[in-house]
């Protein structure tokens, strides 16, 4: 069966709307899923020997946070190596990366029908489309030529987006080599407004020589921010040197920072370069800077002001060219007022301050982060699949996470170990019982949830008129309720409803809610 050219033309026109790249990807995926009548469809970007989901429809929300390494997912590796449409037989023994991840029956059935379309730009692999369904014969009616047209459409959309990304970064690298160097363990995950703003600020400051003060609670990912700044800076070819100021006894902190010469003190049996020398022409990341003593703060200030330092026991001065990135979970302004931190050093460090939001302030990102950590745990524990049940994800989204992202990662790993012991080493599904979380006694949506209007029951909606009217009444009530629960945050409401943000706004306007 050939696909209608009119249908493909409409999809192509939809991609020209004045919306963001992410929304274009989502629009493409939504339209293609409807056209192919598939149970799930995903657009993936290829980078660093792995596939990163850009947009999905019909898949669990945590899939967007997962990173699928080719070496661990043979089906995706087969798609990456193919030059054409890949149809997997229903009885294929290759594990499917989306097992237990397709909605709404993700906990009951495995994927049976699977098609992969590799996407190319200038004969280089840039991504893939995956099309999945529960019925083994679901896509038999579509011929390969029609699927190639779909692949060409998706490849053009992705290629254009990557080209725009290159131009924004003012690089000249080929598209196939444009994968960010921090793809994987050092990637900053988050699509919430706070994280998008943080990423913009990182992009602005990275190319400068300004010192940066990174602020945030313990466990929010301040070190990832420092790595992102360094890797996007002109100093990326040189070292990023790390020093945890809180872990240093004051007796050795000066030596760690500035080095020493042989015989400078008892135990100094040889010359030793300090962190500043090691970071020369590169970047020095001073974690927990607020824990440094006032004496060391004065010596650090001199290096920042004049670029010269002295090793302990040496009268000679050494010139260094170092960019400082500092991080703290303390309120340094309050520390300055209390006399525990030098005001002049604070102003030197905080030329460009960045604040990393706490996880409870970006609940929209919990699903993405959970997907990332589930995929890591699956790999580390040697599981065929590791998925979150919907109640488990709801539990994670209700918890306030005082330990932030680090606590979330540890909680998922602990739950995976417990679930593996119960369910064996094959496919593992995490339930709320696997998480030992002390949830608040009241609903975490707070007073807003209590005051929010409840969505109308189906019979009340039907009383409004015909089917179309009943659907509109029910949708309007559900949207009002969800927006109220999310404290008026439409982006959070869209994620809670499983909708693209742009689609939710369009639906709200049609229902006269905006």
The DSSP annotation for 331-384 comes to: -HHHHHHTTSS-HHHHHHHTTEEEEPPPGGG-GGGHHHHHHHHHHHHHHHHT-S
Q: What is the pLDDT of residues 345-360, one digit of tens each?
A: 999 999 999 999 999 9
Tell me: do 109 and 172 sit in the same domain: yes
Q: Could you give the angle at which helices 5-14 and 144-169 cross, rounded to 10 degrees?
A: 10
Tell me: do 38 and 162 sit in the same domain: yes
CA angle, 451 then 452 then 456, to 5°: 130
pLDDT higher at 495 or 133: 133
Domain of 389?
361-434
Q: Is residue 184 part of a domain?
A: no
Q: Could you give the angle at which helices 193-206 and 222-231 cross, rounded to 10 degrees?
A: 40
CATH at residue 72: 3.30.450.40
- pLDDT greater than 90 at residue 177: no
Tell me: do 471 and 427 sit in the same domain: no
pLDDT band at 125 (very low <50, low <70, confident <90, very high): very high
CATH at residue 371: 1.10.8.60
Tell me: do 340 and 367 sit in the same domain: no
- pLDDT greater than 90 at residue 246: no
Tell me: do 260 and 296 sit in the same domain: yes
Model-level pTM?
0.78
CA–CA gap between residue 361 and residue 143 (Å, rounded): 47
Tell me: do 229 and 315 sit in the same domain: yes
Tell me: do 481 and 369 sit in the same domain: no
Tell me: do 352 and 372 sit in the same domain: no
pLDDT at residue 20, rounded to an integer: 62
CATH at residue 489: 1.10.10
Tell me: do 227 and 318 sit in the same domain: yes
Tell me: do 32 and 171 sit in the same domain: yes
Q: Supply 63's token pair.
A: 């899939």
427 vs 36, 99, 100, 121, CA distance in Å?
A: 28, 8, 8, 35
Q: Is residue 439 part of a domain?
A: no
Q: Are 479 and 511 spatial neighbours (Cβ–Cβ below 8 Å)?
A: yes
Tell me: do 156 and 229 sit in the same domain: no
Q: Is residue 440 part of a domain?
A: no
Q: What is the pLDDT of residues 300-314, one digit of tens each?
A: 998 888 888 877 877
Q: Are 346 and 334 spatial neighbours (Cβ–Cβ below 8 Å)?
A: no
Q: Supply 45's token pair.
A: 């970007």
Q: Which helix (H) or strand (E) holds 69?
A: strand 68-69
pLDDT at residue 168, rounded to an integer: 64
- pLDDT greater than 50 at residue 443: no
- pLDDT greater than 60 at residue 505: yes
Q: How many domains does the chain have?
A: 4
CA–CA gap between residue 386 and residue 73 (Å, rounded): 13
Q: Is the peptide bond before 104 cis (omega within 30 degrees of 0)?
A: yes
504: left (phi over 0), alpha (psi -120 to 50) or beta: alpha
Q: Is residue 182 part of a domain?
A: no
- pLDDT greater than 90 at residue 502: no
- pLDDT greater than 90 at residue 19: no
Q: Is residue 243 part of a domain?
A: yes
Tell me: do 87 and 142 sit in the same domain: yes
Q: Is residue 188 part of a domain?
A: no
Q: Is residue 63 part of a domain?
A: yes
């Amino acid at each position: 069966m050939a696909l209608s050219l009119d249908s493909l033309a409409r999809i192509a026109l939809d991609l020209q709307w004045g919306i963001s790249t992410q929304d274009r990807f989502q629009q493409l995926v939504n339209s293609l899923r409807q056209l192919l009548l598939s149970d799930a469809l995903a657009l993936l970007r290829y980078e660093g020997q792995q596939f990163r989901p850009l947009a999905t429809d019909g898949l669990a929300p945590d899939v967007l946070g997962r990173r699928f390494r080719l070496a661990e997912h043979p089906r995706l590796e087969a798609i990456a190596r193919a030059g054409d449409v890949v149809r997997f037989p229903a009885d294929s023994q290759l594990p499917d990366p989306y097992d237990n991840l397709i909605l709404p029956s993700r906990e009951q059935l495995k994927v049976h029908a699977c098609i992969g379309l590799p996407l190319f730009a200038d004969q280089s692999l840039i991504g893939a489309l995956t099309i999945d369904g529960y019925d083994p014969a679901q896509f038999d009616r579509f011929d390969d030529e029609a699927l190639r047209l779909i692949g060409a459409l998706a490849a053009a959309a992705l290629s254009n987006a990557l080209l725009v990304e290159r131009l924004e970064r003012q690089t000249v690298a080929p598209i196939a080599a444009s994968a960010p160097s921090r793809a994987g363990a050092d990637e900053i995950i988050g699509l919430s407004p706070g994280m998008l703003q943080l990423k913009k600020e990182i992009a602005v400051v990275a190319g400068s020589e300004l010192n940066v003060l990174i602020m945030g609670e313990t466990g929010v990912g301040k070190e990832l921010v420092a790595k992102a700044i360094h890797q996007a800076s002109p100093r990326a070819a040189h070292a990023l040197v790390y020093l945890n100021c809180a872990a240093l006894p004051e007796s050795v902190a000066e030596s760690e920072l500035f080095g020493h010469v042989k015989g400078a003190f008892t135990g100094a049996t040889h010359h030793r370069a300090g962190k500043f020398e090691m970071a020369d022409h590169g970047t020095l990341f001073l974690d927990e800077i607020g824990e440094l003593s006032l004496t060391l703060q004065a010596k650090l200030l001199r290096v920042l002001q004049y670029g010269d330092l002295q090793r302990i026991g040496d009268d000679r001065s050494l010139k260094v060219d170092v960019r400082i990135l500092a991080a703290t979970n303390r309120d340094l302004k309050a520390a300055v007022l209390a006399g525990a931190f030098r005001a002049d050093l604070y102003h030197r460090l905080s030329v460009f301050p960045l604040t990393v939001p706490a996880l409870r302030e970006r609940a929209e990102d919990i699903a993405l982060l959970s997907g990332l950590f589930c995929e890591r745990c699956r790999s580390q524990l040697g599981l065929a699949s590791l998925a979150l049940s919907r109640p488990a994800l709801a539990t994670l989204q209700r918890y306030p996470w005082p330990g932030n992202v680090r606590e979330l990662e540890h909680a998922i790993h602990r739950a995976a170990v417990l679930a593996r012991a119960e369910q064996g080493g094959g496919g593992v599904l995490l339930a709320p019982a696997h998480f030992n979380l002390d949830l608040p006694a009241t609903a975490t949506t707070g007073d807003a949830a209590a005051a929010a209007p409840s969505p109308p029951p189906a019979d009340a909606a039907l009383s409004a008129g015909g089917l179309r009217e009943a659907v509109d009444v029910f949708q309007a009530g559900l949207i009002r309720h969800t927006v109220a629960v999310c404290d008026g945050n439409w982006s959070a409401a869209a994620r809670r409803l499983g909708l693209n943000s742009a689609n939710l706004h369009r639906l709200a306007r049609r229902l006269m809610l905006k």
